[in-house]
Amino acid sequence: MFYKWLAVAAVVEWLLVRTMTRAAIHVPKSSLVIWVYTAVNQIGLISAAFVALLAFVLLLWLVWETRQTIMLPLALVGLSGLSALLLFVAPPAWLAVTYQLFAIMAVLLLVGSSYWQGVAEPGWKRRWRGTAVVLFPACALLAGLAVQLLPNLYRLLGWPGPPPFTTVLYNLGEMFVVGSVLVWWWEYGRSRPWQHWLLAVMPALLFALSFWHDPAMTGILTIWSTGLTLFLPWLVYVLALWLAGVTVLVNWQARPALAYAILLLIAAGYAPQLSSQLFCALIALWLLAQPLPGVQKQTSSVWQQDESGIAATLLTDNR
Protein backbone atom coordinates (compact mmCIF):
# COMPACT_ATOMS: atom_id res chain seq x y z
CA MET A 1 0.00 0.00 0.00
CA PHE A 2 2.77 2.46 0.88
CA TYR A 3 4.72 1.65 -2.29
CA LYS A 4 1.55 2.28 -4.30
CA TRP A 5 1.05 5.67 -2.64
CA LEU A 6 4.68 6.55 -3.27
CA ALA A 7 4.47 5.56 -6.95
CA VAL A 8 1.25 7.50 -7.55
CA ALA A 9 2.48 10.61 -5.70
CA ALA A 10 5.83 10.48 -7.53
CA VAL A 11 4.05 10.34 -10.90
CA VAL A 12 1.80 13.26 -9.89
CA GLU A 13 4.84 15.32 -8.87
CA TRP A 14 6.66 14.40 -12.09
CA LEU A 15 3.73 15.31 -14.34
CA LEU A 16 2.72 18.52 -12.55
CA VAL A 17 5.98 20.08 -11.31
CA ARG A 18 8.52 18.87 -13.87
CA THR A 19 6.30 18.62 -16.94
CA MET A 20 3.05 20.59 -17.02
CA THR A 21 4.16 23.72 -15.18
CA ARG A 22 7.34 23.89 -17.24
CA ALA A 23 5.45 23.29 -20.48
CA ALA A 24 3.16 26.22 -19.60
CA ILE A 25 6.04 28.70 -19.52
CA HIS A 26 5.25 30.04 -22.99
CA VAL A 27 1.45 29.94 -22.64
CA PRO A 28 -0.15 33.43 -22.56
CA LYS A 29 -1.40 33.85 -19.02
CA SER A 30 -4.66 35.54 -18.25
CA SER A 31 -5.83 35.87 -14.65
CA LEU A 32 -7.70 32.54 -14.93
CA VAL A 33 -4.66 30.77 -16.40
CA ILE A 34 -2.45 32.19 -13.65
CA TRP A 35 -4.89 30.91 -11.01
CA VAL A 36 -4.96 27.42 -12.58
CA TYR A 37 -1.17 27.46 -12.99
CA THR A 38 -0.69 28.38 -9.33
CA ALA A 39 -3.14 25.71 -8.15
CA VAL A 40 -1.49 23.00 -10.25
CA ASN A 41 1.93 24.05 -9.00
CA GLN A 42 0.80 23.96 -5.37
CA ILE A 43 -0.64 20.44 -5.80
CA GLY A 44 2.63 19.35 -7.36
CA LEU A 45 4.68 20.84 -4.53
CA ILE A 46 2.52 19.09 -1.93
CA SER A 47 3.05 15.83 -3.82
CA ALA A 48 6.80 16.47 -3.91
CA ALA A 49 6.90 16.99 -0.14
CA PHE A 50 4.84 13.84 0.41
CA VAL A 51 7.17 11.85 -1.87
CA ALA A 52 10.26 13.14 -0.05
CA LEU A 53 8.92 12.18 3.39
CA LEU A 54 7.49 8.79 2.38
CA ALA A 55 10.57 7.83 0.38
CA PHE A 56 12.77 8.68 3.36
CA VAL A 57 10.62 6.54 5.68
CA LEU A 58 10.50 3.63 3.23
CA LEU A 59 14.27 3.78 2.77
CA LEU A 60 14.66 3.39 6.53
CA TRP A 61 12.19 0.51 6.36
CA LEU A 62 14.44 -1.14 3.75
CA VAL A 63 17.30 -0.76 6.20
CA TRP A 64 15.32 -2.87 8.66
CA GLU A 65 14.21 -5.37 6.01
CA THR A 66 17.78 -5.94 4.77
CA ARG A 67 19.50 -5.75 8.16
CA GLN A 68 20.96 -9.26 7.82
CA THR A 69 23.02 -8.28 4.76
CA ILE A 70 24.90 -5.63 6.82
CA MET A 71 26.51 -3.79 3.86
CA LEU A 72 23.31 -2.66 2.13
CA PRO A 73 21.78 -1.22 5.33
CA LEU A 74 25.02 0.67 5.99
CA ALA A 75 24.89 2.23 2.52
CA LEU A 76 21.22 3.15 2.93
CA VAL A 77 21.80 4.61 6.41
CA GLY A 78 24.70 6.64 5.03
CA LEU A 79 22.52 7.98 2.23
CA SER A 80 19.62 8.88 4.51
CA GLY A 81 21.89 10.47 7.11
CA LEU A 82 23.79 12.58 4.58
CA SER A 83 20.52 13.55 2.91
CA ALA A 84 19.21 14.90 6.23
CA LEU A 85 22.51 16.65 6.93
CA LEU A 86 22.60 18.34 3.52
CA LEU A 87 19.31 20.05 4.30
CA PHE A 88 21.26 22.36 6.62
CA VAL A 89 24.77 22.62 5.13
CA ALA A 90 26.11 23.18 1.63
CA PRO A 91 28.06 20.04 0.72
CA PRO A 92 31.82 20.37 0.23
CA ALA A 93 33.37 18.24 -2.49
CA TRP A 94 34.35 15.38 -0.18
CA LEU A 95 30.84 15.13 1.27
CA ALA A 96 29.25 15.11 -2.19
CA VAL A 97 31.66 12.37 -3.28
CA THR A 98 30.83 10.34 -0.17
CA TYR A 99 27.11 10.67 -0.83
CA GLN A 100 27.46 9.52 -4.44
CA LEU A 101 29.73 6.62 -3.45
CA PHE A 102 27.09 5.47 -0.96
CA ALA A 103 24.52 5.62 -3.77
CA ILE A 104 26.72 3.59 -6.15
CA MET A 105 27.39 1.07 -3.40
CA ALA A 106 23.66 0.67 -2.72
CA VAL A 107 22.90 0.08 -6.42
CA LEU A 108 25.64 -2.55 -6.74
CA LEU A 109 24.44 -4.37 -3.63
CA LEU A 110 20.85 -4.39 -4.88
CA VAL A 111 22.00 -5.90 -8.18
CA GLY A 112 24.00 -8.49 -6.27
CA SER A 113 21.01 -9.49 -4.15
CA SER A 114 18.91 -9.85 -7.30
CA TYR A 115 21.54 -12.12 -8.86
CA TRP A 116 21.75 -14.45 -5.87
CA GLN A 117 17.98 -14.69 -5.68
CA GLY A 118 17.91 -15.53 -9.40
CA VAL A 119 20.38 -18.37 -8.93
CA ALA A 120 17.60 -20.41 -7.34
CA GLU A 121 15.45 -20.09 -10.48
CA PRO A 122 15.39 -23.23 -12.67
CA GLY A 123 16.95 -22.78 -16.10
CA TRP A 124 19.67 -20.37 -17.15
CA LYS A 125 17.33 -18.38 -19.43
CA ARG A 126 14.98 -17.60 -16.56
CA ARG A 127 17.90 -16.71 -14.27
CA TRP A 128 19.34 -14.35 -16.88
CA ARG A 129 16.02 -12.65 -17.56
CA GLY A 130 15.29 -12.24 -13.86
CA THR A 131 18.67 -10.60 -13.36
CA ALA A 132 18.31 -8.42 -16.47
CA VAL A 133 15.06 -6.96 -15.12
CA VAL A 134 17.15 -5.32 -12.38
CA LEU A 135 20.51 -5.08 -14.15
CA PHE A 136 19.45 -2.82 -17.01
CA PRO A 137 17.87 -0.04 -14.88
CA ALA A 138 20.73 -0.41 -12.39
CA CYS A 139 23.29 0.17 -15.17
CA ALA A 140 21.36 3.26 -16.26
CA LEU A 141 21.35 4.56 -12.69
CA LEU A 142 25.05 3.78 -12.26
CA ALA A 143 25.91 5.69 -15.44
CA GLY A 144 23.99 8.73 -14.23
CA LEU A 145 25.60 8.58 -10.79
CA ALA A 146 29.06 8.24 -12.35
CA VAL A 147 28.46 11.33 -14.50
CA GLN A 148 27.51 13.24 -11.34
CA LEU A 149 30.44 11.82 -9.37
CA LEU A 150 33.25 12.64 -11.80
CA PRO A 151 33.11 16.48 -11.57
CA ASN A 152 33.05 16.36 -7.76
CA LEU A 153 35.90 13.85 -7.74
CA TYR A 154 37.97 16.04 -10.08
CA ARG A 155 37.27 19.07 -7.88
CA LEU A 156 38.20 17.13 -4.73
CA LEU A 157 41.49 15.90 -6.20
CA GLY A 158 42.30 19.21 -7.88
CA TRP A 159 42.47 17.71 -11.36
CA PRO A 160 41.86 19.91 -14.39
CA GLY A 161 38.49 19.32 -16.02
CA PRO A 162 36.18 18.62 -17.56
CA PRO A 163 36.26 14.84 -17.00
CA PRO A 164 36.60 12.88 -20.25
CA PHE A 165 33.98 10.52 -21.67
CA THR A 166 31.11 11.99 -19.66
CA THR A 167 28.97 12.45 -22.78
CA VAL A 168 29.65 8.90 -23.91
CA LEU A 169 28.85 7.59 -20.44
CA TYR A 170 25.65 9.61 -20.25
CA ASN A 171 24.49 8.35 -23.66
CA LEU A 172 25.34 4.78 -22.68
CA GLY A 173 23.15 5.08 -19.60
CA GLU A 174 20.34 6.49 -21.73
CA MET A 175 20.57 3.40 -23.94
CA PHE A 176 20.19 1.27 -20.82
CA VAL A 177 17.03 3.23 -19.98
CA VAL A 178 15.49 2.22 -23.30
CA GLY A 179 16.85 -1.30 -22.92
CA SER A 180 15.20 -1.60 -19.50
CA VAL A 181 11.78 -1.01 -21.02
CA LEU A 182 12.41 -3.67 -23.67
CA VAL A 183 13.50 -6.20 -21.01
CA TRP A 184 10.45 -5.50 -18.82
CA TRP A 185 8.06 -5.80 -21.73
CA TRP A 186 9.70 -8.94 -23.12
CA GLU A 187 9.58 -10.67 -19.75
CA TYR A 188 6.23 -9.48 -18.34
CA GLY A 189 4.24 -7.54 -20.94
CA ARG A 190 3.93 -9.56 -24.15
CA SER A 191 0.81 -11.07 -25.74
CA ARG A 192 -1.73 -9.07 -23.80
CA PRO A 193 -5.27 -7.76 -24.58
CA TRP A 194 -5.56 -5.05 -27.21
CA GLN A 195 -7.22 -2.71 -24.67
CA HIS A 196 -3.91 -2.32 -22.85
CA TRP A 197 -2.14 -1.47 -26.09
CA LEU A 198 -4.82 1.08 -26.97
CA LEU A 199 -4.67 2.83 -23.59
CA ALA A 200 -0.88 2.82 -23.45
CA VAL A 201 -0.55 4.38 -26.91
CA MET A 202 -2.13 7.65 -25.72
CA PRO A 203 0.92 9.14 -23.90
CA ALA A 204 3.23 7.80 -26.62
CA LEU A 205 1.09 9.44 -29.30
CA LEU A 206 1.02 12.70 -27.33
CA PHE A 207 4.82 12.68 -27.11
CA ALA A 208 5.10 11.92 -30.84
CA LEU A 209 2.78 14.80 -31.77
CA SER A 210 4.66 17.17 -29.46
CA PHE A 211 8.00 16.21 -31.01
CA TRP A 212 6.61 16.52 -34.53
CA HIS A 213 5.19 19.97 -33.76
CA ASP A 214 8.21 21.44 -31.92
CA PRO A 215 11.20 19.08 -31.53
CA ALA A 216 13.40 21.72 -29.85
CA MET A 217 10.91 22.54 -27.09
CA THR A 218 10.02 18.86 -26.63
CA GLY A 219 13.69 18.02 -26.24
CA ILE A 220 14.17 20.74 -23.62
CA LEU A 221 11.10 19.64 -21.66
CA THR A 222 12.21 16.00 -21.84
CA ILE A 223 15.62 16.88 -20.37
CA TRP A 224 13.98 18.92 -17.61
CA SER A 225 11.38 16.25 -16.91
CA THR A 226 13.24 12.94 -17.22
CA GLY A 227 16.91 13.75 -17.87
CA LEU A 228 16.86 12.09 -21.31
CA THR A 229 18.65 13.91 -24.12
CA LEU A 230 16.78 12.17 -26.99
CA PHE A 231 20.04 11.49 -28.86
CA LEU A 232 18.52 8.29 -30.27
CA PRO A 233 15.90 8.42 -33.07
CA TRP A 234 12.72 9.85 -31.59
CA LEU A 235 10.67 6.83 -32.70
CA VAL A 236 12.73 4.73 -30.26
CA TYR A 237 11.48 6.84 -27.36
CA VAL A 238 7.89 6.68 -28.64
CA LEU A 239 8.09 2.89 -28.76
CA ALA A 240 9.73 2.72 -25.33
CA LEU A 241 7.01 4.92 -23.79
CA TRP A 242 4.34 2.76 -25.40
CA LEU A 243 5.84 -0.51 -24.18
CA ALA A 244 6.37 0.91 -20.68
CA GLY A 245 2.70 1.85 -20.50
CA VAL A 246 1.63 -1.59 -21.69
CA THR A 247 3.83 -3.29 -19.09
CA VAL A 248 2.47 -1.13 -16.26
CA LEU A 249 -1.16 -1.75 -17.25
CA VAL A 250 -0.63 -5.50 -17.64
CA ASN A 251 1.05 -5.90 -14.27
CA TRP A 252 -0.97 -3.44 -12.17
CA GLN A 253 -3.03 -6.31 -10.74
CA ALA A 254 -0.91 -9.40 -11.51
CA ARG A 255 2.49 -8.07 -10.38
CA PRO A 256 1.91 -4.72 -8.64
CA ALA A 257 5.50 -4.50 -7.37
CA LEU A 258 6.75 -4.43 -10.96
CA ALA A 259 4.22 -1.77 -11.98
CA TYR A 260 5.09 0.42 -8.98
CA ALA A 261 8.82 0.01 -9.65
CA ILE A 262 8.47 1.10 -13.28
CA LEU A 263 6.45 4.16 -12.29
CA LEU A 264 8.98 5.06 -9.59
CA LEU A 265 11.88 4.80 -12.04
CA ILE A 266 10.05 6.93 -14.61
CA ALA A 267 9.22 9.55 -11.99
CA ALA A 268 12.76 9.53 -10.58
CA GLY A 269 14.15 10.16 -14.06
CA TYR A 270 17.51 9.38 -15.52
CA ALA A 271 20.41 10.67 -13.36
CA PRO A 272 18.22 11.77 -10.40
CA GLN A 273 18.94 15.29 -9.23
CA LEU A 274 17.28 15.21 -5.78
CA SER A 275 17.64 12.84 -2.86
CA SER A 276 13.93 12.02 -3.00
CA GLN A 277 14.29 11.01 -6.65
CA LEU A 278 17.32 8.87 -5.86
CA PHE A 279 15.47 7.20 -2.99
CA CYS A 280 12.55 6.41 -5.31
CA ALA A 281 14.96 4.82 -7.79
CA LEU A 282 16.59 2.70 -5.07
CA ILE A 283 13.22 1.59 -3.73
CA ALA A 284 12.22 0.66 -7.28
CA LEU A 285 15.37 -1.45 -7.70
CA TRP A 286 14.61 -3.20 -4.42
CA LEU A 287 11.08 -3.99 -5.62
CA LEU A 288 12.45 -5.35 -8.89
CA ALA A 289 14.98 -7.45 -6.98
CA GLN A 290 12.22 -9.27 -5.12
CA PRO A 291 11.02 -12.57 -6.63
CA LEU A 292 8.21 -11.80 -9.07
CA PRO A 293 5.69 -14.45 -10.13
CA GLY A 294 6.41 -15.71 -13.62
CA VAL A 295 4.06 -16.70 -16.38
CA GLN A 296 5.59 -20.13 -16.62
CA LYS A 297 5.05 -20.77 -12.92
CA GLN A 298 1.45 -19.64 -13.11
CA THR A 299 0.84 -21.81 -16.16
CA SER A 300 2.33 -24.85 -14.48
CA SER A 301 0.17 -24.32 -11.39
CA VAL A 302 -2.93 -24.10 -13.59
CA TRP A 303 -1.96 -27.33 -15.30
CA GLN A 304 -1.42 -28.97 -11.94
CA GLN A 305 -4.88 -27.89 -10.85
CA ASP A 306 -6.38 -29.18 -14.10
CA GLU A 307 -4.58 -32.49 -13.75
CA SER A 308 -5.75 -32.89 -10.14
CA GLY A 309 -9.31 -32.09 -11.24
CA ILE A 310 -9.12 -34.64 -14.05
CA ALA A 311 -7.72 -37.25 -11.67
CA ALA A 312 -10.54 -36.61 -9.22
CA THR A 313 -13.11 -36.93 -12.00
CA LEU A 314 -11.62 -40.20 -13.21
CA LEU A 315 -11.58 -41.54 -9.66
CA THR A 316 -15.26 -40.63 -9.24
CA ASP A 317 -16.17 -42.22 -12.54
CA ASN A 318 -14.37 -45.43 -11.61
CA ARG A 319 -16.31 -45.60 -8.40
Question: Which carries the bigger pLDDT value, residue 28 or residue 295?
Answer: 28
Mean of all residue pLDDT scores within the chain: 85
Task: Quote the domain boundaries for residue 185.
Answer: 70-290
3-state class (DSSP) for residue 120: coil
Helix (H, G, I), strand (E, B) or coil at 269: coil
Q: Is residue 234 part of a domain?
A: yes
**Total domains present in the chain:** 1
Specify the pTM: 0.86
CA dist 206 → 140, 194, 246 (Å): 25, 19, 15
Q: Is 143:169 a contact under the CB 8 Å cutoff?
A: yes
Amino acid at 55: A
107, 145 Cβ separation under 8 angstroms: yes
Q: Is 5 contained in some domain?
A: no
Whether 79 is in a domain gets the answer yes
Is residue 180, in this structure, part of any structural domain at all? yes
The pLDDT tens digits of the residues spanning 218-259 come to: 898 899 899 999 999 999 999 999 999 999 999 998 899 999
pLDDT at 117: 58
Judge whether 25 lies within some domain.
no
Residue 282 domain-assigned (yes or no): yes
267 class by beta-carbon count within 10 Å (0-12 exposed, 13-18 middle, 19+ buried): buried
Instruction: Region of 203 please: left (phi>0), alpha (psi -120 to 50) or beta.
Output: alpha
Query: Does residue 286 belong to any structural domain of this protein?
Result: yes
Q: What is the pLDDT of residue 116?
A: 57
Predicted confidence band at 316 (pLDDT cuts at 50, 70, 90)?
very low
Report yes or no on 313 lying in a domain: no
Residue 239 and residue 182: Cα distance in Å, rounded?
A: 9
Planar angle of CA 76, 153, 138, nearest 5 degrees:
45
152-159 contacts, C-beta under 8 A, 24 or more apart: 152/93, 152/96, 152/97, 152/100, 153/97, 155/93, 156/93, 156/94, 156/97
Report which listed range, 33-42, 112-121, 290-299, is most confident: 33-42
Average pLDDT over every residue of 161-165: 85
pLDDT at 318: 42
